[in-house]
Amino acid sequence: MSEDKCTAKIKIVKDGPYLVVGNIPMTKQTIIEDEHGQAVKWKADDCFPLKEQYALCSCGESSNSPYCDGTHQKIGYDGTETASKGNYLENPETIEGPDLILTDAQQLCALARFCHRKEGGVWDLTEESYNPEYRASAIQGAWDCPAGRLIAWNKKTGKAIEPPYVPSIGIIEDPAKKVSGPIWVRGGIPIESCDGTPYAVRNQLTLCRCGKSRNKPFCDASHVSKGYIAKTTDPSNTL
Ligand code: FES
For residue 60, which atom of ligand 1 is closest to its CA?
4
Atom of ligand 1 nearest to the CA of 211: 4
Atom of ligand 1 nearest to the CA of 181: 1
Same domain, 53 and 153: no
Domain count, the chain: 2
Cα separation, 111 vs 182, whole angstroms: 10
Distance between CA atoms of residues 73 and 156, nearest Å: 52
Residue of 107, 183, 219 best suited for mutating to test ligand 1, as the one with most atoms within 8 Å of CB: 219
Q: Examine the domain organization and report whether 204 and 230 are in the same domain.
A: yes
Q: Which domain, by its residues, includes 135?
A: 88-161
Least confident of 111-120, 175-184, 213-222: 111-120
Give the pocket of ligand 1 (CB within 6 Å): 110, 181-182, 208-210, 212-213, 219-223
138 C-alpha vs ligand 1 centroid, how far in Å?
Answer: 25
Q: How confident is the model at residue 97 (pLDDT cuts 50, 70, 90)?
A: very high
**pLDDT band for position 2 (50/70/90)?**
very low
Residues 80 and 149 in one domain: no
Please say whether the beta carbons of 89 and 104 come within 8 A.
no
Q: Is the same domain home to 141 and 44?
A: no
Mark whether 72 and 169 lie in a shared domain.
yes
Asked whether residue 11 falls in the same domain as residue 104, the answer is no
**Are 76 and 106 within one domain?**
no
Among residues 126, 143, 161, the one where a domain terminates is: 161
Same domain? 126 vs 54: no
Neighbours of 235 (CB within 10 A): 7
Say whether both 131 and 108 belong to one domain: yes
Indicate whether 5 pLDDT > 70: no
Q: What's the pLDDT tens digit per position in 55-87? A: 999 999 999 999 999 999 999 999 999 999 988
Residues 22 and 138 in one domain: no
pLDDT of amino acid 38: 93
Average pLDDT over residues 85-104: 92
Are 154 and 178 members of one domain? no
Residue 87: per-residue pLDDT? 87
pLDDT-above-90 percentage for the chain: 88
Distance 133 CA to ligand 1 centre (A): 33
8 Å CB contact between 159 and 220:
no
pLDDT of res. 236: 66
Average pLDDT over residues 187-213: 97
Half-sphere exposure of 5 (CA within 13 A, CB side): 11
Distance CA 182, CA 235 (A): 18
For residues 233 and 239, what is the distance between their CA atoms, to the nearest angstrom? 13
138 and 106 share one domain: yes
**Average pLDDT for the chain:** 94
The residue out of 161, 186, 216 marking a domain boundary is: 161
Chosen domain end from 132, 161, 190: 161
Shortest CA distance to 23 belongs to which of 3, 37, 46?
Answer: 3
